[in-house]
Structure 1
Amino acid sequence: MRLYLPVCLLPSVLLTGCVTILDIQSNVRVADKPPFERILIVSRLPNVPPGYASTFVGAFPSQYTVCSVDVSPIDFETPDELVSRQLNECKSQVMLTLDLNRSFSGNSGKYIAGYNNIYLEMSSVATGKPFWKAITLSTTTALSPREIVQRLISDGVLSGKVAVADSRYR
């Protein structure tokens, strides 16, 4: 009887927790990482609300200046024009791009289902070379800015501590 109670309560405790863990794989090329303080966040994610990229601005440590741009298929400017304009306005040194990695599907025939993982890449604006890449291991539509920034810190790309971000994507 005593063993039965903890075994029954454990699943309910685990299922009601508010902690989210983002499963991602990442890779850093330290030799290509430039010194930087100004970052542009570019969201190319189609299934997020307008202004999603701006939720990343408040999550970065205070020593970084962060700008953002959401690329949408209904914009009259091309994605390159939007990004170029924002790079010039913000004088960003690096760019963190969030995009879908449409790499696999499941099932077949009329039951086929596509799975989209989110691909992240941080690259130097001066050279265009990426120095940090990551991909989510689970399918999702929006990422927590805090978790991504924490991953950048743990990978040694950023220094400092995660700031408080927009509560919608914590």
Structure 2
Amino acid sequence: MRLPVLICLLLSTLLTGCTTILNIQSNVRVVDKPPFERILIVSRLPNVPPGYASTFIGAFPSQYTVCSVDVSPIDFETPEELISRQLDECKSQVMLTLDLNRSFSGNSGKYITGYNNIYLEMSSVTTGKPFWKAITLSTTTALSPREVVQQLIKDGVLNGKSPVNNPRYP
């Protein structure tokens, strides 16, 4: 009788071991959080496919209107022009920016290794003040929109629930 229980425990351990959970450390300044319903997602991540920021659009609770812009070094417009144009078109009240935090490295000399964690910041468009900041605790090139939205909900920045059963947002 112990063998089936042992097999079940082993299988569940193996299956959960295959799941990667991105750790996000975050901080909220509630006094600076404005009421909002319109969000602009700005991706400054260099190693993601074009249109990556748009994958966040359907991951937010239904009461939020979400627009996006990918900032790329090969754009002819400056990042400020791209963002300003999209803010005007979408009439966004807040902006969620995804960027790399290139703050540390390992090894030295020709063996130096860079570690790039993703830095996230949500700020008011009106005041420019950030009210939510986060950083990934593991190095990665892209984030799951669902994990970011779930963290925002957990931190009380967003209300509602993230959409479920949407295969586009793992």
TM-score (normalised: structure 1): 0.91
Deviation at 1:163, TM superposition (A): 1.6
158-167 vs 73-82, which moves further: 158-167
Task: Please list every run of 5 or more consecutive structure 2 residues that lacks an aligned counterpart in the other structure.
Answer: none
**Cα distance in 1 for residues equivalent to 2:12 and 2:27:** 35
Residues 75-115 of structure 1 show CA distances to partners (whole Å, capped at 9, x for unaligned) of: 00000000000000000000000000001000111111000
Instruction: Please list every run of at least 4 consecutive aligned residues from structure 1 whose deviation after the TM superposition is greater than 6 angstroms.
Output: none
Deviation at 1:26, TM superposition (A): 0.2
Inter-CA distance 37–67: structure 2 relative to 1 (3 Å threshold): same
Deviation at 1:53, TM superposition (A): 0.1
Aligned residues of 1:106 and 1:114 also touching (Cα < 8 A): yes
Structure 1 position 59 matched with structure 2 position 59: yes
Structure 1 position 33 matched with structure 2 position 33: yes
Partner of 1:103: 103
Partner of 1:15: 17
> 3-state DSSP class of the match of 1:20?
coil
Aligned amino acid, residue 15 of structure 2: V
Partner of 1:76: 76
Partner of 1:161: 161
Partner of 1:42: 42
**Cα distance in 2 for residues equivalent to 1:113 and 1:127:** 37
User: % of aligned pairs identical?
Assistant: 83
**Cα distance in 2 for residues equivalent to 1:65 and 1:11:** 39
Inter-CA distance 159–54: structure 2 relative to 1 (3 Å threshold): same
Residues 106-145 of structure 1 show CA distances to partners (whole Å, capped at 9, x for unaligned) of: 0111111000000000000000000000000000001000
Q: CA RMSD in A?
A: 1.9
Q: How does 1:125-144 map to 2 (within 5 A)?
A: 125-144=125-144
